[in-house]
Every structure is written in structure tokens, then in C-alpha cells.
Amino acid sequence: MNHLLIAPILIPLLGGIIQVFIGYAPISLRRTLALATTVLLLASTFALLVLANDGSYRVYAFGNWAPPFGIVLVLDRLAALMLVMTAILAFFSHLYAIHRTDESSRQFHALFLFQLMGLNIAFLTGDLFNLFVAFEVLLIASYGLLMQGPGTKRTVPSLHYVVLNLTGSALFLISVGMIYSVTGTLNMADLAAKVPQVSAENLPLLQAGGLMLLVVFGLKAAILPLCFWLPRAYGNATAPVAALFAVMTKVGFYAIVRVFTLIFGSGAGALANLGLDWLFAFALATLTMGVIGALGARNLRTLIAWQVIISVGTLLAAVGLGTEEGTSAALFYMLNTTWIVGGLFLVVDLIAAQRGSAVDRIVTAPRMHNRTLLSVLFLIGAVAAIGLPPLSGFFAKLLILQSTTPGAEMAWLWSVLIGGSFFTLIAYSRAGSIVFWRTVDGHVSSTDRLSLPVTVAAGGLVSMAIVIVLLAGPISAYVDATAAQLFNTSEYLNVLNLPVIAEGL
Amino acid sequence: MELAYALIIGTLTASGVYLILRARTFPVVVGLTLLSYGVNLFLFATGRLVTGGQPIIGSTGEYADPLPQALVLTAIVIGFAMTAFAVVLALRNQADNEDDHVDGHRPAPEPRAEEEEGASR
């Protein structure tokens, strides 16, 4: 039992508690401590990535209660990948938040760190009910974060977001209850072992529970019929919050991948590959909807928010293929899209601050003060998001296209993905050329000059598009190994047999 | 007992869903509360309904499953906190927009009909 496994939960928890108590301390102290917490978290997740890279499962049993009776944390390649991705995104968002966002509220850093704690619990947990608790922790922090910032424009989107997620939580509890009533367990490894043995009369109950879980995770991931809350909520959130929320939809994606390959995967007997064909169709519809939304966006933030939905559709379409190659390609694309979308939210905020009353609307305005730097950052972000060569988005989409086998699925995926990319290109070109090229004479009286931290934060996230290309070899080797580990579900069942007594306590 | 229990869960959930679909924040908050009551009772029933049993195997002939009870306890605590937050948010909406419509304002067409409906409730 390795105690390092709990570090990504404890570090933001302790850092957040400190922030709660020092709300009236000088802001420089709060900023230093908060950023130190995030850096420490980043270091611990990299340590876990190195640990997980040997391909074995590591288990942390709370209170030394053996699974399936106690709650366990399970570290595997997928969990480590999600942790590192979140920590890098969180570091840059946090760096950006220190610019000005955190002045509006004394609890900003505490909420931000609790949000990270909730995310990390969700990625590490090996228990379905604990996943529910993690969702609630990250959601209640996100409710607070969404309300950050001046003005009243966030109230209504927040209200919709809260009500929708509370209803989603109710559905989650109902499906968890259904699954428990049939299998008598909520430990994921134990569920994977027991689901194939469920008797025929109980099967419909389990099937209903499983499909309701898909609805709940679909709400978190924002797939088509459940995605209309997202553009308004993300479009109105302050930039670092919106950037961090780029990972929120990936929690839903992660939960779908975890539950529907492990518990309802190919080894689930009568319920094998439950919901997979639904997922593929809905994912393509989501992708189309996202592209339509991006084409119709009237301001840059909304455009990026629709990009989140496009990426969810692309990710789930690749996972919906139900193959190892598809999942591997989806994980590669996920790294690209999460960082780039987060970076674009930050860049757009910098652009908005230099355009006076035009803010981020796609209209002509006086030229920006730092137009060269900002336009290059926007160009890199847009090229990576659309998937044009030579940046990471191109390779990610290429991997997804390559993962299909000839047939109806291939025809659908290729046509929707390539057509969607083309129209996304039009949306970004239109927005970029109006904002950067069609400028009018005159100048904006009070512009925000770029400071070093915000430039580093926005530039750092966007330049991940180049980093991913440079490290494409190791990253694709890692995601291939992750997908292989995911699909070899029988290995996961060993979680139940691992000795939990800590040696040399 | 099972039938009465199931009917109660069904009534609570149906009322909750109906109220959540209303256009004002107050019924929506009440609806969320009713829905969470229904869900909590449902979760409790997933351990099967047992009367007079103890939550320890072997102490009585029939034992009551303790795990759903723990789950319900967690769900109640979380639901309580979330309801409190939803109430605060509804008040904020009322203060910011001077209206408790869930969209912050009444829809533009037919404002009269909406007003009458609001007054009759």
C-alpha cells in the first residue's frame, strides 16, 4: 500500500483548508500559498505517472478495510494520465487567476483547490458510490467558482447549471441503487466480477441502472440532448474558471470510459458493451451540434464553449467504436483538446481586455495593443483545435480516423469528423479575421497591458500543441499502453486480491 | 408494506419532477427537495425492506443491510447542502433580476397569461 496515492487528494484539501482560514491575510501570501499547493500537486501527479507507467494496479484502502468492503483508491495508467492532465491545466489556470480574478472573492483559491480535490477523487476512486461523492465535491466547488466575478450575468446560467446537476445527482443515486440492489456491491472490481453472473430475472434492472448511469455521465460530459447548459455557463464564467472547466466534461468522459469498459465491457456476459451503439450515434450528433453552434457564435467565448462540445463529440465517437485503437486515439485527442481549449479561453480573455467596449464580440474594433502576440497565440490555438497540420490536433484526429475499420461506422465517422473540421475552420477563420484584421482607426483608452504571469499562463497552455507534437512518440506509446490496460479487464479484478496490510507501517 | 412504500416513492418523485419543470425558482427548489426525498427512500429500499432485523449478520434471523443506510445518510447530507445552495442562488436570482423566473425574466410573448398563472398560484 503506497501512501503517495492519496497525495493528489490530501494536498489540495489541506491547501484549501488553509485558504479558508486565511481569507483576510494579505493577498500576496494567499496567492503564494495557493500556487505552491498547485505546484506541489503537479509534482505529486508526475510521481504517480511514473509509478503507474509499469502497468500494474496500485490500491490504497482507506482505514485498511479490504475491498470490496472498504473504499479503495486505484491507480492505473488511465487515472495517472487524467491526474497529470488536470494538474497541468490547473497550474496554468491558477497562474492566470493570480492576475486579477482572485481579487473579487476571498474564497476563490479555496474553491479552486476543492475543485481540484473533487476531480482527483473522481479519477482515483475504485468505488461507484465514492465516484458520486467525488462528483458532488467537484460540483459544489464548481457552483461557487461559476459565480465568481463582477456583475449579474452569471446568475441565470449558474441556476440552470445547479438545477440540472442536482437532477443528475438524483439520477446517479437511483442508478447506483438499482445496481446495488441486484449485485450487492459498489466496488468497481467486484461489480465487474458480479455483473456477468446476474440472473436473467434481475437483468433488466441492472440494464436500466447501467443505461441511467450513461445518462448521468452524458450530462456531465455534455452529449447532445444534455449539452445546452454548457455554452452559456462556460461563456459567462471568468477566464481561469472556464479554462479549468475544460476538464469538467472530461470527468464525464472518464467515467464513461471507466464504467463502460470495466463493468459493462466485453466481459459483462448478457450486458456486454451496454450502450455502446447509443454512444456512437449520440456522439456524432453532438459533434454536429457543436459545429453548428460554433458557426453561429457571436462572441469568442461562446465559440470556444462550443469547441468544448465539439471535442466531447469527437472523444465519445472514438470511444463508441468500442475498440482498443479507438480508445487510445481518444485519449491522445483528449490531452490535446483539454489543454488547447483551456488555453483558448485564457487567450480570448486577454483579447477581450484590449478591445474596450467590443470585448470579445466578433465585430470590428480598434486595433489591440499586443495584437501580434495575441494573434499568434489565437492562431496556434485555433489550428490545434481545428486539427490542421502541423500541430497536435491534426495528429490526434488522424489517429481517430485511422482507428476505424472499413464499414458503416467508418463512413459515418470520417464524413462527420472531416466535414465538422472543415466547418470549424470556417468558424475560426471568420472570427479571427474579423477580430484581428478588420480593425478600425482609433485606440481604446484604457487597455490592460499584458503582465508576465498571464502571458506565460495563456502561452503555456496553447503551446502544449507544440509540446504534444514534440513528445508524440512517448505520449502515443503511453496512451496505447493505457488502452491495452483498460481492455484487459481481468487484470483489474486483482484489485480485490491485493494485500492491504501496509508493510512496515 | 412494499406496495405502500413503492407508491410513496412514486408520488414523491412524480411531484418532484412536475415541480422542477415549473417556470419559477421556488417550485423548482421544492421539486428538487421532493425528488431527493424520493431518491433517499429508493436507496433505502435497495437493501430490501426488513422489519425487526439488526444490521449484523447472525444476530437475528433476518438482517437489515447496513450499506444502503450509510449511502442514504451520505445522500441526505449532500442533498441538504445542495438544497441550501439552490435556495441562496434562487434568492440571488430574485435580487439580481427582480423576478424569480428561472430564465431571469418572463418570456416576451404573452406576458399577461404568465402573470395570471403566477398570481393564481
- B30-80 pLDDT, tens per residue? 999 999 999 999 999 988 888 877 888 777 778 888 888 889 999 999 999
Q: Which of A171, A169, A341, A330 is nearest to A257 (CA)?
A: A330
**Nearest residue of B to residue A134 by CA position?**
B78
Show the CA angle centred on residue A51, arms to residues A47 and A56, nearest 5°: 160
- Quick check: helix, strand or coil at residue A228? coil
Per DSSP, A387 falls in state: T
Predicted TM-score (pTM) of the model is: 0.92
Specify whether the CB–CB gap between A159 and B20 falls below 8 A.
no
d(C-alpha A221, C-alpha A202), whole Å: 29
Is it true that domain B2-120 has CATH number 3.90.1150.10? no
In angstroms, the CA A492 to CA A210 distance is 19
| Amino acid of residue B3 | L
How far apart are the CA of A344 and the nearest CA of chain B, in angstroms?
A: 28
Inter-chain residue contact A158 with B89, CB threshold 8 Å: yes
Side-chain half-sphere CA neighbours of A307 within 13 A: 35
- 3-state class of A354 per DSSP? coil
pLDDT of residue A340: 94
Angle between helices A392-402 and A371-386 (to 10 degrees): 10
Does residue A19 contact residue A30 with C-beta atoms inside 8 Å? yes
Domain-by-domain residue ranges, chain B?
A: 2-120
A177 in B contact zone (CB under 8 Å): yes
Which residues of B are less than 8 Å from A121 in CB distance?
none
Helix (H) or strand (E) segment spanning residue A72: strand A72-75
**Mutate: best of A155, A178, A232, partner B, most B CBs <10 A:** A155
Inter-chain touch A170–B78, beta carbons under 8 Å: no
What phi, psi does A440 have (nearest 5°)? -110, 165
**Mean pLDDT for chain B overall:** 84
How far apart are alpha carbons A318 and A311 in whole angstroms?
11
First to last CA, chain B: 35
The closest of A345, A344, A350 to A448, measured between CA atoms, is: A350
Angle made by CA atoms A154, A157, A160, in degrees to the nearest 5: 145
**Alpha carbon of A129: minimum distance to chain B alpha carbons (Å):** 8
Helix (H, G, I), strand (E, B) or coil at B54: strand
Confirm or reject contact between B64 and chain A (CB < 8 A). Answer: no
- In this predicted structure, what is the pLDDT of residue A332? 94
- Is residue B23 within 8 angstroms of chain A, CB to CB? no
> Residue A175: its pLDDT value, please?
94
pLDDT by residue, tens only, chain A of 505 residues: 688 999 999 999 999 999 999 988 888 899 999 999 999 999 999 999 999 998 888 888 888 888 888 889 999 999 999 999 999 999 999 999 987 788 878 889 999 999 999 999 999 999 999 999 999 999 999 999 998 877 788 888 899 999 999 999 999 999 999 999 999 889 999 999 899 888 889 899 999 999 999 999 999 999 888 888 899 899 888 999 999 999 999 999 999 999 999 998 887 788 888 888 889 999 999 999 999 999 999 999 999 999 999 999 999 999 998 889 999 999 999 999 999 999 999 999 998 888 878 888 888 888 888 888 999 999 999 999 998 888 999 999 999 999 988 888 899 999 999 999 999 999 999 999 998 888 787 777 666 677 888 889 999 999 999 999 999 999 999 999 999 999 988 888 888 876 666 554 4
Could you tell me the CA-to-CA distances from A208 to A98, A112, A173 in Å, in that order?
A: 46, 35, 13
Using CA atoms, how far apart are residues B8 and B37, in angstroms rounded to an integer? 10
Which residues from B are below 8 Å from A180, CB to CB?
A: 46-47, 67-68, 71
Whole-angstrom Cα distance, residue B94 to residue B26? 10
Q: Are A30 and A113 in contact (CB under 8 A)?
A: no
Residue A263, classified by CB atoms within 10 Å of its CB into exposed (0-12), middle (13-18) or buried (19+), is buried
Q: Alpha-carbon distance A5 to A9, whole Å?
A: 8
Q: Which of A159, A191, A228 to mutate to test the interface with B (most CBs of B within 10 A)?
A: A159
Q: ω before A390 within 30° of 0 (cis)?
A: yes
Question: Which of A155, A163, A180 is facing B32, going by the closest CB pair?
Answer: A163
Cβ of B102 within 8 Å of Cβ of A160? The answer is yes
| Partner A contacted by B14 (CB < 8 A) | no
For residue A32, how many other CB atoms are within 10 A of its CB? 12
Question: With contacts defined as CB-CB under 8 Å, which chain B residues touch A159?
Answer: 25, 89-90, 93, 102
User: Which pLDDT value is given to residue B120?
Assistant: 45
Question: Is residue B104 less than 8 Å (CB to CB) from chain A?
Answer: yes
Residue with cell 487510445: A328
Q: What is the DSSP letter of A125?
A: B
Cell 439552490 belongs to which residue? B86
- Which residue among A136, A162, A180 sits closest to B86, beta carbon to beta carbon? A162
Alpha-carbon distance A404 to A314, whole Å?
13
